[in-house]
Amino acid sequence: MKKDITLVILAAGMGSRFGGLKQITPLGPNGEFIIDYSIYDAIQAGFTKVIFLIKEENYEIFKETIGARVEPHIPVEYCFQKNDNVPEPYQSMLKDRQKPLGTAHAILCCKDNVHEPFMMINADDFYGRDAYEKGAQFLKGLKDEKPYPYGMIGYLVKNTITENGTVKRGVCEVDGKKLIKIIESSVGRVEDGRIMAKPLDESLEEFEVQEDDTVSMNMLLFTPSIFSYLEDHFEAFFEKNKDNLEKCEYLIPDVLFETIKEGYSTAEVLKTTATWYGVTYKEDADGVKSALKGLVDKGEYPNHLWEE
């Protein structure tokens, strides 16, 4: 019997460094978005539903563009990243905040739509077919029992960086196949060719990363058990950050690390040699267009992605 598995696409980010709504920037040979390729790969791998997590004001443009293209091929639902699930008094204190509350909050906003194992991805990252196939196979084999079996697609850091500046990556400590720790960092090459990681936690020192070290690209795998954990720890997050409510973010890598420490979950690292493509900076766009055209020319994708 076919097992239902869902792809949750986080698309509520502002795209500040790129300078616009980069989730719907045409990059494929016939105007396709990166999201198109993500959904195409997910369908090929056996995913049975797609959920777009977006800002409510972007609903119509998503529905009329990417939604209209993919809805004939896979069931699609939309969720909005809103603060109406934030506990009081913090909800009132956040009424003027425009910036989304972070990826863990984004996942929590999908709670009522996700009832099966799921993979979360960023809308503006091209992950490669191999990553979806490994993720789908993992999700189809999950049993929702404690410690809950979560997962992460692990990329070689050399396959995830851009020549145009530093990028945010979760540098991973891995024991065998088990994820031990993620250090969220700004990662990039320096003049002598080395890859350096500067942790976002300013109490940690910059460190060198080897080319084949594992990084997280926010391609994470969960069962619905994650929603209970997110809800149970949401208020504690606000209490901890009550003096920084305008900038604090409830981030899923941090939450995943906490679930592992507490014995609530384990996290298996599924390594892929796929190459990541994305538009972190405007200067990245031409390189991504060239890479996608190359994949089409090699026959890995149809020239017109959604034609019957």
Radius of gyration of the chain (CA): 19
Distance CA(21)–CA(19), nearest Å, equals 7
- Please compute, for residue 92, the number of CA atoms within 13 A of its CA located in the half-sphere on the CB side: 2
Nearest to 61 by CA among 97, 25, 8: 25
Long-range Cβ contacts of 137-141 (<8 Å, 24+ apart):
138/221, 138/268, 138/270, 139/3, 139/5, 139/221, 140/3, 140/5, 140/46
CATH number of this structure's domain 6-297: 3.90.550.10
Collapse the DSSP code of 253 into the 3-class scheme (helix H, G, I; strand E, B; otherwise coil) and give the result: helix
DSSP 135: H
Q: Where are the domains positioned within the chain?
A: 6-297
Indicate the residue type of 195: I
Helices 252-261 & 225-240 angle (0-180, nearest 10): 100
Q: Using CA atoms, how far apart are residues 15 and 280, in angstroms rounded to an integer? A: 8
Close Cβ partners of 258 (under 8 Å, ≥ 6 residues apart): 233, 264
Write down the pLDDT at residue 17.
42
Q: What is the pLDDT of residue 308?
A: 56
**157 touches 259 (CB < 8 A):** no
CB atoms within 10 A of CB 304: 13
What are the φ and ψ backbone dihedral angles of 268, each rounded to 5 degrees? -90, 135
> 160 with 167: CB under 8 angstroms?
yes
Q: Are 231 and 110 in contact (CB under 8 A)?
A: no
Per-residue pLDDT of the chain (308 residues; tens, 9 = 90+): 578 999 999 988 644 443 455 556 789 999 899 999 999 999 999 999 999 999 888 888 888 888 999 999 999 999 999 988 888 888 888 888 888 888 999 999 999 999 999 999 998 899 999 999 999 999 999 887 889 999 999 999 999 998 888 988 999 999 999 998 889 899 999 989 999 999 988 899 999 999 999 999 999 999 999 999 999 999 999 999 988 888 888 999 889 989 999 999 999 999 999 999 988 888 888 999 999 999 999 999 999 999 75
CB-based burial label for 290 (10 Å; 0-12, 13-18, 19+): exposed
109 in Cβ contact with 8 (< 8 Å): no
